[in-house]
Amino acid sequence: MGLRLLIADSAAERDAARDVEARVFLEAFGNTPDTMAEEYGRYADRSRFVTVLDERTGRAVGAARLILPDDAGELKTLTDVAAGPWQLCVPDSLAAAGLSGRPVWDVATLAVDAGHRRGSAGTEVVLALIHGLFRYTYDSGVPGAVTVLDDHVLRLAQGMGVPWIPMPGATSQPYLGSPASTPCTLSLGAYAAAVRERRPDLAPALVDGRFRSIAADPAELAPGRGADPWDLTGCGAGSVLEEVGQPAT
């Protein structure tokens, strides 16, 4: 029994993921429970959590929230970047990434417990979350992702070879307590090759899901896990429209 990478599927697993997300975002960015509810509450039924779970305690030591699009293709990142301070043209941003008219998912949060951020074990938690985001999204048939990343996390991810690319015209701006964050896109088809080329030392973890201290069963990252009892495919292929992103949250 130890650490396990999975898509939070049971109520207890989802609660554990939300708990570590809330703790980290309060500590790091001052996001109170009220702020988290205001920003993410309306996305609860469209959220999936990539989670590193401590089986001994049942607590999550890290989690990343994915938000799936609704029938109109709405995502938090897309609506946020269409508003201030960026006021980006979302159709142009998606087109520049080769994602125009194609389904994209939103990497909305990434949180690692303070006690698991240092040393090789902490690094593995981050690697596992990134691998889980890639594996679950790619295997779900989704070609791209969007995010607004704190610049420190963006530099960390790019240093690991993950090909997050700033949206055209996107500057680094304060965002939800982060002093500097940048909107980005990711082509999932380019992920594996980019990591293998830029960081071949990390490819076994980031691409293949092999870790020293974290168990990663591909079945626990399978498409459909983490869903409420409604059709996952309704939030996937074919739902993103070029007109998405005009009103902002």
Query: Which CATH number is 164's domain given?
Result: 3.40.630.30
Closest CA to 75 of 246, 200, 245: 245
Q: What share of the chain has pLDDT > 70, as a percent? A: 90
Whether 186 maps to a domain, the answer reads yes
Higher pLDDT, 227 or 19: 19
pLDDT for position 117:
77
Q: Is residue 127 part of a domain?
A: yes
Predicted confidence (pLDDT) at residue 98 exceeds the cutoff of 70? yes
Cis link prior to 85 (omega < 30° from 0)? Answer: yes
pLDDT at 248: 28
Three-state SS letters, 20-67: HHHHHHHHHHCCCHHHHHHHHHHHHHHEEEEEEEECCCCCEEEEEEEE
Percentage of the chain beyond pLDDT 90 is 85
| Poorest-pLDDT segment among 172-176, 217-221, 229-233 | 229-233
What pLDDT shows up at residue 116? 80
Q: Cα 109 from chain centroid?
A: 6
Q: In this structure, is residue 228 part of a structural domain?
A: no
In a domain, 138, yes or no: yes
Q: What secondary structure does DSSP assign to 178-198, as a single string?
A: EEEEEEEEEEHHHHHHHHHHH
195 pLDDT above the threshold of 70: yes
Rounded mean pLDDT of 190-200? 98
In a domain, residue 232? The reply is no
Mean pLDDT of the region 28-41: 96
Q: Could you list the residue range(s) of the whole structural domain that residue 93 is in? A: 3-222
| Strands, E assignment, 120-229 | 144-150, 165-166, 173-175, 178-187, 214-216
Q: How many domains does the chain have?
A: 1
35 pLDDT higher than 70 = yes
Question: Is 212 within the bounds of a domain?
Answer: yes
Mean pLDDT to the nearest integer, 168-195: 97
Mean pLDDT, residues 119-140 taken together: 92
**Model confidence band, residue 234 (pLDDT cutoffs 50, 70, 90):** very low
Mean pLDDT in residue range 190-206: 98
Q: Does 227 map to a domain?
A: no
DSSP 125: H
Any domain includes 53: yes
Mean pLDDT of the chain: 90
User: Which of 221, 208, 75, 217 minimizes the C-alpha distance to 140?
Assistant: 221
Using the structure block, give the residue that is written with the tokens 């009892």: 229
**pLDDT grade for 228, boundaries at 50, 70 and 90:** low
- Identify which of 107, 100, 178, 173 has the alpha carbon closest to the alpha carbon of residue 137: 107
Checking if the pLDDT of 76 tops 90, the result is yes
Is the pLDDT at 241 greater than 80, yes or no?
A: no
Q: Residue 38: is its pLDDT beyond 60? A: yes
Q: How confident is the model at residue 18, as a pLDDT?
A: 97
What confidence score (pLDDT) does residue 227 get? 82
